[in-house]
C-alpha cells in the first residue's frame, strides 16, 4: 500500500508537470494520510477526508468558479409546436 504522503507528493509533481491551473480536490485516506493532506494543503490542493466531503468541495469550487465567469447570452431558439421556445 502506498503511503498518503507519497501519493500527495506524486499528485503535486503531476500537477506541476502538466501546468494545471484548475483547482484540484483529492480524497486521501490510509497510512500517513494526515501528512499527505498537509502536503496537499501547502500546495493549494483541497484534501477531502471522504468521497462525500470531496464531492461537496468540488461542488463549492464549481459554484465559485461559475460565479466568476460572465453569463453567456442565450441564443434565440426556434419556437416549438405550441408556440413556446425550446430551452
pLDDT of the chain, 87 residues: tens digit per residue: 889 999 999 999 999 999 988 888 999 989 999 999 999 999 999 898 899 998 998 888 888 766 665 655 655 656 666 655 555
- Do strands 25-27 and 46-48 pair parallel, antiparallel, or not at all (unpaired)? parallel
- Counting the structural domains of the chain, the total is 1
Residue 77 in any domain: the answer is: no
Residue 14 in any domain: the answer is: yes
The number of helix segments (H) and strand segments (E) in the chain equals 3, 2
Confidence (pTM): 0.67
Question: What range does the domain containing 54 cover?
Answer: 4-68
Read off the C-alpha cell for 29: 485516506
CA pair distance 51, 2, nearest whole angstrom: 19
Residue 78 in any domain: the answer is: no
CA pair distance 59, 53, nearest whole angstrom: 10
Residue 45 in any domain: the answer is: yes
Amino acid at each position: 500500500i502506498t503511503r498518503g504522503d507519497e501519493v500527495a507528493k506524486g499528485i503535486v509533481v503531476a500537477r506541476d508537470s502538466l501546468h494545471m491551473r484548475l483547482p484540484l480536490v483529492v480524497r486521501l485516506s490510509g497510512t500517513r494520510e494526515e501528512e499527505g493532506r498537509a502536503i496537499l494543503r501547502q500546495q493549494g490542493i483541497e484534501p477531502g477526508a471522504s468521497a462525500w466531503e470531496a464531492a461537496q468541495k468540488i461542488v463549492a469550487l464549481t459554484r465559485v468558479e461559475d460565479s466568476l465567469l460572465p453569463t453567456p447570452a442565450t441564443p434565440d431558439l426556434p419556437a416549438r409546436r405550441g408556440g413556446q421556445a425550446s430551452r
